[in-house]
Chains A and B, each alone.
Chain A
Amino acid sequence: MAKKVRALVLTGYGINCDYETADAFSRAGAESARVHLNDVIANPAMLKDYQILAVPGGFSFGDDVASGKILANRLRYKLGDALKQFVADGKLVIGICNGFQVLVKMGMLPMLDGDFQQEVTLTHNDSGRFEDRWVNLQATKDTHCVWVKGLDRLELPIRHGEGKFIPRDVSVLDTLRNKGMIALRYCRADGNAAQGQFPANPNGSIDDVAGICDTTGRVFGLMPHPEAHTERTHHPRWTREDRPEEGIGLRVFRNAVEYAASN
C-alpha cells in the first residue's frame, strides 16, 4: 500500500490558481493544502510534512517590475535553503505559469550548477499582450521529467503576457536539450513543430519551449495550465467532439503523486 502523498499549494500575494491546483492534486489522489507563503516562511519545517510543493499561477505582486520577480526574490532570500533541502530530499516541485516564472527567476529552474543562478527567462510575448488561448503541446521524447512521464500530445490553455522562453545563450539551450530537461514544446494541431509560428507557439519562445525541468526531473515549470484541463468540460471543443471524462492535464498531477507514493 503506497503512502498518502501530501501536496502543499502556495497562496498569497496575488497567486490565484491555488484553488484549482489544490483540487487537481486532490483528484490525483493526494491530500492537498493551500498554505499562505508567510506561514511557510514563519515555519519552514512544515515542508517536512509534504512531498510535493506547487507554486501556482497568478499575478504575484501584480507582475510589477517583471512577472514573478518579486516573489522569486522573496522565496530565494527567505526560503532558499529550505527549498534546496526539499529537492535534495527527493521531493517534487511544480511551478505553473507565474509559478514557472518565479522558479526561473529565482534560479531554481533549470538549476544547472546547484546554485540559485538565473540561466533562462520568461518575458513579454512577441505579440506584446496577455492572451488566453488553448495550445497544443508535445511532451519531449527524451525528457526525464517525472511530471510528463508517459505523455505524448496534450491540449492546455495558456494565459499569460510574459511567457516567451529565452535561454542565456546557445550553450544553456544545448545543455537543456542534451540533458533531457526540455519537457514540453508548443506544437501545431497536427503534431508538427510550431517552429516559432504564432499562434501554435503563442509567445515566440525559443525552440518552442513550453516547460522545462531541473537535472533531477522532479522540479518542473511550465507556462500552460494543466490544472485547467482536469475535466472533459474544460476543453474548448467538448460540445463537438467525443472526449474522455477526465482532462489530460490531470495526468501531470497523477504522475507526481504516483512518483511520490512509490519513492
Chain B
Amino acid sequence: MPNTATPGAKTIPVHRIEVGMKPDLPDPTGSGARARIAEDLGVHVNDVRVIDVYTIHADLSREELDLVRRELFTDPIIQNSALDTMLASDFDFAVEVGFRPGVTDNIGKSSAEGIADTIGRSLTEDEAVYKSTLYAIRGGVSADTCEHIARDLLANGLIQRWVVKSAAELKSVDGYGLLGLPLVTDRSSAEVRTINLNISDDALMTISRDGMLALDFGEMKAIQAHYRDASIAQWRKQAGLPAQPNDIELEILAQTWSEHCKHKIFNAVIEYTDETGKTRTIDSLFKTYVKATTDEVGKRVDWLVSVFHDNAGIIKFDENWNFALKAETHNSPSALDPYGGAITGIVGVNRDVLGAGLGCRCIFNTDVFCFATPFFDGDIPARLMHPRRVLRGVHQGVKDGGNQSGIPDLNGAIVFHDRFLGKPLVFCGTGGLIPATINGKPSHEKCAKPGDLIVMCGGRIGKDGIHGATFSSEELHEGSPATAVQIGDAITQKKMADFLLEARDLGLFSNITDNGAGGLSSSIGEMAKGSGGAVVHLDRAPLKYPGLAPWEIFLSEAQERMTLGVPPAKKEAFLDLARRREVEATVLGEFTNSGRLECFYEDKLIGALDMHFLHDGVPKMHLQAKWTPPTPKSEITIQTSDLMGDLKAVLGSLNVCSKEPFVRMYDHEVLAQSVLKQFQGVNHDGPGDAGVIRPVPGSKRGIAVACGITPKYSDLDAYWMMASSVDEAVRNLVAVGARISTIAGLDNFCWPDPVKSDKTPDGDYKLAQLVRCCEALYDFCTAYDIPLISGKDSMKNDYKIGDTKISIPPTVLFTAAAIIDDVTKVVSMDVKRAGDAVYVIGETHNEMGGSEYLALRGELGANVPKVDAKKARALYEKLSAAIASGLVASCHDCSDGGLGVALAESAFSGGFGMEIELHGVGVENDVVALFSESQSRFVVTVAADNTDAFEAAMSGAAFARLGTTTQSDLFKVHGGDGKWHEARLGELKAAWQRTLSL
C-alpha cells in the first residue's frame, strides 16, 4: 500500500522503487546467485533475476519520486524500473533480503545523498532510504527450498531479514512492504543503574556472566575492594555519585580490563614446568620475550622510531618519511558474519595506521585467512557456518574494504586446517607512510594537553558492536551476542581519512587515535593517560537512532570513528574543514589533569573512574604451564613409483594451490607503487614470494612485505612452529633481495584458551605451547636482528556448544617488512630463460613432519622442520648480496610442499622446462628430496655466464646445482631409482590452478 504509514514511522510515506536488468539482457548478478545455489546447496533452479529494491521512507512528491527513479536509480541503457509496482515477471518465487533494524545500510545511506543531489534538498533526520534485494527465482523450487536458499545462502539471519513469496502471493500484496521498515524500536532507557557489589562471591560472578562482562573472580573482587576504599567512597559522596558503581563504570572497567585490551595472559605470572619437571617463573611473556627482543635488537639497528605504545609500530623509511605497520585479527565477528566481520577487520586496521603518530596515510594491506577445507562434508556444529561460506564472505569483506578504500593488497595467504572449523582466523594488516616531521615537529609524537577538546569524527554511534571487546575475550558459545557484529563502511571512512590527513597537515589537532574495541571508552581512556584525565558529555555524541543508554554510547564499537585532541584555538578551523568535507565532527568534552575519567549525561555526573585504577588496577593473573612433548614417533617412510603424480597432488593441495581467483579480485595496484606483484612470470600467474612497492614517486627506495604462518607444526612442537613462521617470512623477503638487518616484524598470536579450567582441562599444556612459542620468537628474531615493532594476541579461539569443542591449532602470523635500497635490483620467482643453472640453496633433511605430502595421506609424521638460525642468517646474507650484484635470474622460497613445488612453480611460471638431478639434494629418498619441508631453502636460477661468480658468492653456505632450465615444456626429474620422471608444464600448472578455481 503506497503512501501509507508503517506503525512507528509517524506519517512519512513509504515508496518502493524496483530496478532490474532489461529482460533481454543477461543478469550477471542473477547468474552468479544461481551458480552459488547449485554449487553450495546442490539446488538447481532454472533462472534467477536480481532486482534492487529501494524503499524510500521520505516525503517526496510523485514528480520527485519519478525523477529519482529515472535519474538516480535507473541506468537507462540496460535497466528497467518501477515505482510502487512490481517489476519482476515470469518467476515462481521471490525472495527478498534486507537488513535488520540498526544494521549499517551503506547503499541506503548513499542513496539518500544521491536523492539530495537530484531533488535539490537533503532528507530530514526522520527520512531514510533502505536497500533490499529481491531474487526472482524460476523453476525447480518450492517455498521450502526458497526458505533454505534464503537462510543458508542469500541472507545471514544475524544481520538480515528475508521473506519468501510465491508469484501469486506477491501479486496479492502488489509488491509492497514485504519486509517492513527496519526501524530500531528497541530502546534502552537513558536511566543509569547502580550495581551493588556488596554481595556474595557467587553473586559477583553472576553479575559478570549475565552482564557479558567477562571479568573473572579476582577482577570482580578487586573492583569490589576499590569501591570499599575509604578515600574513593568519600570522593564519590562529594561528587554526588553513589557509593557502589554505576553501570557505566562497571562496563568501562570490564572493557578496559578485557583480555582483548589488557593482554592479561601475555602479562601474567606463569609457572612453567618443562619436560624434566624443572619449574621456573616467567613474569610476563610480553616483557620477557617480545619486548626483550626489540630492546636487544634495538641496540643494533638505528631505524626504530616508535614501538609498542602507539596504534602501530613506526620505523624510518628514508630521511623524509616514516613507515608504520600493524596487523590485527577479527576472528570472532567473522565467525558470526564473515562479510561484516572481515570488512570491519580490514577497515579497522586501516584506522590503526591512520591513528598512528599524527596520522599515517595507508599504502597497502595484507590479508591472511585460516579456514577449514571448503570441501568439508561433515555435519556443521550449531551456530557455525560451512567453511565455504565463511571463505566467500571473508574474502568478499576484505575485498570490498580494501578496494573501496583505495588501499592496494600487497601480500597474504589462505591457510587450511580442519580445526579452523571452530573459529576462522582473519588477519588484516596495513602499512602507512607519514612525513617524518609535520609543521616542524616529529610526526610520531602526540599528546593531548589538559584543556584540549575531545572531538569524535566520522560515523555515528549505534548499538553495533557493544561488548565486542569482552565477547572476543570468550569462546564462541550459544549466547554470543548478535550486536557484536558490525558492518564496515569504507566510504565513510575514506572521507574521514582524506579529511584527517588534510587537517593533520594544517596542524589542527594534537592527538589522534582510533575507535576500535571498546569504542570511546577505550580511545578516550587511553588518550586521557597523557593529560591525566578527561570529562566526557555522552549526550552530545551523534547517534544513528535514539534510545541508547549512556554506557552503550560510551562502549559502542560502531565503526569509522576517530577520536582527536583538538587545541581550543584550532576548534573552529577543525570543525569548519570537517563541514566542508562532509565529515561529522563533534566536541564531546575535554582532556583534564584531574586524575579521573568523568562521564556526564545531560550535565549530570554519571560515572567517574580513577585513572590509575582504570589502567593499572587489574590484578595480575597467575597461571600454570606444563610442557609434555608429544610421544616421539619414528618418521614414516614412503616409497613411491609415481613422483610426478605425487607432485601434482601436492601442487593441488589446499595449502599449496593457486589462490589467484581470490587475489585477482583485490586491487593490488592502486597508488601506482607496485614493483613485485602477487602474480609473476610470463603469464602473470606465478606465485610471488614477497610484495614490493616503491611508495615515494621518483625514489627507488622500496618496501618488501611478506608473511609466515605454519600452524601445521603446532601439534608437533609450537617452538618450531614459531621458528618456521619467522623463517618463512624472512626467506620470502630474502628471496626478492631484502637484506638482514633491514627487517621489522609483527607477531599476531591466535591461541586456543590456555587457562586451565573445567572447560579447558589441557590449559596448562596449551600455555606451555605458548611459552615455547614465545621463546622461539625471541631466539629467532634476535638471531636475525628483527625488532618486533607491534603485535597483538587473540587468546580464546575455541568453539564450545554442548559437548562439541573445537580448539584451533596454536597459530602465529609473523608479518615482516624490509626496506629495499633500490627496487630495480629485486628479482621475481619465475625462470627467465633456457640454459640457466638451477640450484637448491640450503640443506634438506628428513623433516616430513607436518608436510603437505603426509597430510594428503592423512598423516602428521614426526620430524618437525627445525631452523638453524646461525647457518640460515649467513646463507641469507650471501644470497641477498648475490641478488644485489645481479647474479640471480630468479629466486623462489621453498615452503609448503617442499622443493618439488618450488621447482615446478619456478618452471611453469617462467614457461621453461627443467632437467633436475635429484641426487644433488643430498638425501637418500626421492620423496624426502622432493617433499620434505626443511626450512631456510630456496630454488635459484642463474644465467650460465654468472654461475662461477654466483658459486663464489655463496661459498661457505649450503647449496647444490641440480640441473638446467630448458626450452622444452617438460619438467624432468632424475630420481635415485635411476629413472627419469617427467610431466608437462601445463599439467603441473593445471594441477596447481584447478583446486580453487571459481
A residues within 8 A CB of B826?
239
Least CB separation from B664: chain A residue: A131
Report if B668 contacts A (CB, 8 A): yes
How long is the Cα–Cα vector from A66 to B74 in the complex, in angstroms? Answer: 9
Assembly CA distance A106 to B507 (angstroms): 37
The reply to whether A132 and B490 form a contact with Cβ atoms under 8 Å apart is: no
Chain B residues with Cβ under 8 A from A167's Cβ?
77
The CA-CA distance from A168 to B582 in the complex, in Å, is: 35
A31 on interface, CB distance cutoff 8 Å: no
Tell whether A73 is near chain B: CB-to-CB under 8 Å: yes
In angstroms, Cα B406 to Cα A228, docked, is 13
* Contact present for A123 and B78 (CB under 8 Å): yes
- CA of A164 to CA of B491, assembled, Å: 24
B697 at the interface (CB under 8 A from A): yes
Check: A57 CB closer than 8 A to any chain B CB: yes
Contact with A along B694-706 (1 / 0, CB 8 A): 1001000000000
CA distance A83 to B648 in the complex (A): 58
Name the distance in Å between A106's Cβ and chain B's nearest Cβ.
Answer: 10
Contacts of A129 in B (CB 8 A): 32, 665, 998
- Chain A residues positioned under 8 Å from B674 (CB to CB): 228, 233-234
Contacting B at CB under 8 A, from A234-251, are 234, 236-237, 239-240
Contacts of A124 in B (CB 8 A): 28-29
**Chain B residue nearest in CB terms to A77:** B117
The answer to whether residues A239 and B828 also contact, given A20-B671, A230-B672 and a CB cut-off of 8 A, is yes
Closest-by-CB residue of B relative to A226 is B672
What string of 1s and 0s marks CB contacts (under 8 Å) between B650-691 and chain A? 000000000000001111111111111101111010000000
CB-CB under 8 A from A228, the residues of chain B are 669-670, 672, 674
Q: Shortest distance in angstroms between B385's beta carbon and chain A's nearest beta carbon?
A: 21
Select from chain B the residue with minimum beta-carbon distance to A70. Answer: B114
How many angstroms between the C-alpha atoms of A124 and B489 in the bound complex? 21
A70 near B72: Cβ-Cβ < 8 Å: yes
Closest residue of B by beta carbon distance from A167: B77
Given the known interface contacts A168-B77, A233-B694, the answer about A59 and B827 at a Cβ–Cβ threshold of 8 Å is no
Please report the total number of B residues contacting A with Cβ < 8 Å: 67
Q: Is B684 within 8 A of A13, CB to CB?
A: no
* A residues less than 8 Å from B404 (CB atoms): 14, 59, 62-63
Interface 9-residue window, one of B103-111, B623-631, B802-810: B103-111
Highest count of chain B CB atoms <10 Å: which of A36, A64, A119, A127: A64
Question: In the complex, A127→B28 CA distance in Å?
Answer: 7
Residues of A within 8 A of B672 (CB): 17, 19-20, 23-24, 225, 227-231, 234
- Residue of B with least CB distance to A63: B404
Q: Is A260 in contact with chain B by the CB < 8 A criterion?
A: no
Contact yes or no, A225 B665, CB < 8 A:
no
Q: Is the CB of B73 within 8 A of A239?
A: no
Q: With an 8 A cutoff between CB atoms, is A39 at the interface? A: yes
> Does B403 reach chain A (CB closer than 8 Å)?
yes
Query: Do A65 and B117 touch across chains, with their CB atoms under 8 A apart?
Result: no
Contact A73 B71, beta carbon cutoff 8 Å: yes
Bound together, the chains give a CA A106 to CA B329 distance in angstroms of 41
In whole angstroms, what is the CA distance A13 to B490 when docked? Answer: 10
Q: Is the CB of B111 within 8 A of A121?
A: no
Residue in contact with B78 in the complex, picked from A13, A61, A128, A166, CB distance below 8 Å = A166
Per-residue interface assignment for chain B, residues 386 to 404, with 1 indicating a CB less than 8 Å from any chain A CB and 0 otherwise? 0000000000000100011
A12 at the interface (CB under 8 A from B): yes
Known: A63-B404, A159-B667, A233-B694. A14 touches B399 (CB 8 A): no
**Complex contact B110–A64 (CB within 8 A):** yes
Which of B113, B399, B666 is close to A70, meaning CB atoms less than 8 Å apart?
B113
Per the 8 Å Cβ criterion, residues 23-39 of B in contact with A are 26, 28-29, 31-32
Our pick among A130, A157, A159, A237 for the contact of B682 (Cβ within 8 Å) is: A237
CB within 8 Å of B: which of A52-111? Answer: 57-59, 61-66, 69-70, 73-74, 77-78, 105
CB pair B665 A118 closer than 8 Å: no
The residue from A118, A234, A240 contacting B75, defined by CB atoms under 8 A apart: A118
Interface flags, A152-173, vs B, CB<8A=1, else 0? 0000010100000011100000
Residue in B32, B671, B824, B827 whose beta carbon sits within 8 Å of that of A233 in the complex:
B824
Chain A residues closer than 8 Å to B665, beta-carbon distance: 129-132
Q: B118 in the interface, Cβ–Cβ < 8 Å?
A: yes
Instruction: Evaluate whether A73 and B75 lie within 8 angstroms (CB atoms) in the complex, with A16-B406, A23-B697 already known.
Output: no
Q: A17-B406, A77-B120 are in contact. Are A12 and B495 (CB under 8 A)?
A: yes
Nearest-Cβ distance from residue B339 to partner chain A, whole angstroms: 14
Given A16-B494, A17-B670, A23-B672, A121:B78 Cβ within 8 A: yes
State the Cβ distance, A172 to closest chain B Cβ, in Å: 9
B165 interface residue, CB < 8 Å from A?
no
- A126 interfacial contact with B, CB 8 Å: yes
A14 nearest in chain B by CB position: B491
Q: How far is the CA of A231 from the CA of B823 in the complex (A)?
A: 12
Is the Cβ of A64 less than 8 Å from the Cβ of B111? yes
The verdict on B572 contacting chain A, using a C-beta distance below 8 Å, is no
Once the chains bind, are B76 and A118 in contact (CB under 8 Å)? yes
Contact between A132 and B669 (Cβ–Cβ < 8 Å)?
Answer: yes
> Per-position contact with A for B305-318: 1 when CB-CB < 8 Å, else 0?
00000000000000
Q: Counting chain A CB atoms within 10 Å of each CB, which of B78, B118, B399, B679 scores highest?
A: B78
Kindly provide the distance from the CB of B150 to the nearest chain A CB, expressed in whole angstroms: 20
Contacts of A61 in B (CB 8 A): 110, 113-114, 491
- Report B-chain residues with C-beta under 8 Å of the C-beta of A128: 28-29, 31-32
Interface membership of A133, Cβ < 8 A: yes
Interface string of B82-125 (1 = CB under 8 A from A): 00000000000000000000000011011101100110100000
Closest 9 CB pairs of A and B: A16-B406, A64-B110, A20-B672, A121-B77, A128-B28, A239-B828, A59-B404, A62-B491, A70-B114
Given contacts A20-B673, A23-B697, A233-B694, list 13 more A-B pairs with CB under 8 A: A59-B406, A61-B491, A62-B489, A64-B110, A70-B114, A77-B120, A124-B29, A128-B31, A128-B32, A233-B824, A236-B680, A239-B827, A240-B832
Would you give 29 A-B contacts (Cβ < 8 Å), ordered by A? A12-B581, A14-B491, A19-B671, A23-B697, A36-B498, A36-B580, A36-B581, A38-B580, A38-B582, A59-B491, A62-B404, A62-B490, A62-B491, A64-B107, A65-B72, A65-B73, A118-B76, A123-B77, A131-B664, A132-B669, A133-B684, A157-B669, A159-B403, A229-B672, A234-B672, A237-B682, A239-B680, A239-B832, A240-B682
Taking Cβ atoms with an 8 Å cutoff, the residues of A that contact B are 11-17, 19-20, 23-24, 27, 36, 38-39, 42, 57-59, 61-66, 69-70, 73-74, 77-78, 105, 118-121, 123-134, 157, 159, 166-168, 225, 227-234, 236-237, 239-240
